[in-house]
Amino acid sequence: MENLTDSLKVLTYNAWGLKIGPFSIAKDYFARIYSLASEIYQLKPDIILLQEIWKKTDRDFIISEFVKRGYRYSFHKSGNHPHVNKLKKQFRWLNNFMLGNGLLIISKLPIDLTTTKAISFEGYTAQEEFFTRKGAIYCEIKSKDFGKISLINAHLGSVDYQRNKNRFRRDQIKTQKKQLLELEDFIQKHSGSNPLFIGADLNIDEGNYNSSTWFPRSGKQYQNLISKLNLIDSFRFHHPDDLGHTYTSKNIYNSKQETPGSRVDYLFHKNIEQRFEPESSNIVFSKPIKKFNNQIHLSDHFGILSEYKIINKGA
């Protein structure tokens, strides 16, 4: 098994890998995807939780690029589409035409592939999300330094904003709330005694302030999530007064938006006290990079990188 020095770095990042067939829905697609591994590598994370790596060819390329850089372990898995599952067996092949969940975990440390799990949320929010299998994945990692840790990577559905009514679609918010309950149940089932790290694009704002018309404000959902499951929000732990926007007009791809931004990407931890001590948590990839004489951001989201000091080796 690989071992670490005296800390563990965990990154969560929505990479905006949105491409269907020959159509690149996300801007500067190839420049960003081909730059992803090298840009992330500069941060030296030990564990990487990526969302929106939808295409198999992109996933394979990214995995291979990380292998070259010493990240020999990866995990991805999508459950069957919940609506396809309701069809007769002879129609189950339709799963092959649905996008997966876009979730990918990459690690310097060995991943136990015998304990992995994946869920697909029962409902979908925006119409285009019918073709995805948004949900969550779980795996375990083991290190010489601290024994086993558990990882969860998750992505909730997006919600459409109705400008003519100046509100988000209430039916989609209702579905999103159900997805959050499914995620809570998934986390609960995999919350043992191991240290647990959760990377998630929840597509809901923290809800502590009136700044966003891009994402639904979570109201009590965010607080319920962390209180019911005893989770600690790594960024909020270190920055109690920082808005910490991860989707903002400061990003080139969102520059035409008029509102200041939202915090929709989160890194949570749990049960780390006997093995780790939180050291830092920061927004990353907030600065543009230069590619082909253009200034671009690596995604339309910013990421979160948290570092934990190892306090109990050989656990």
CA distance 114 to 288: 39
Q: How confident is the model at residue 257 (pLDDT cuts 50, 70, 90)?
A: confident
The CATH number of the domain covering residues in 7-310: 3.60.10.10
Helix residue ranges per DSSP H, the chain = 29-41, 56-68, 170-189, 221-228, 234-238
Beta-bridged to residue 289, according to DSSP, are: 296
Give 224 or 11, the one with higher predicted confidence. 11
CA torsion through residues 230, 218, 40, 33, sign: positive
Reply yes or no on whether the pLDDT at 176 is more than 50. Answer: yes
CA distance 107 to 85: 32
Mean pLDDT, to the nearest integer, of 83-100? 63
At 147 the pLDDT is: 87
Indicate the average pLDDT of the chain: 88
Q: Phi and psi dihedrals of 30, rounded to 5?
A: -65, -40
At 38 the pLDDT is: 97
- Of 96-100, 147-151, 278-282, give the lowest mean pLDDT range: 96-100
At 163 the pLDDT is: 75
Reply yes or no on whether the pLDDT at 231 is more than 50. Answer: yes
Which residue shows structure tokens 């939202």? Answer: 262
Reply yes or no on whether the pLDDT at 122 is more than 70. Answer: yes
Reply yes or no on whether the pLDDT at 212 is more than 60. Answer: no
Q: How confident is the model at residue 210 (pLDDT cuts 50, 70, 90)?
A: very low
At 220 the pLDDT is: 79
Domain ranges of the chain: 7-310
Reply yes or no on whether the pLDDT at 92 is more than 60. Answer: no
Reply yes or no on whether the pLDDT at 93 is more than 60. Answer: no
And the tokens for 29? Answer: 């697609």
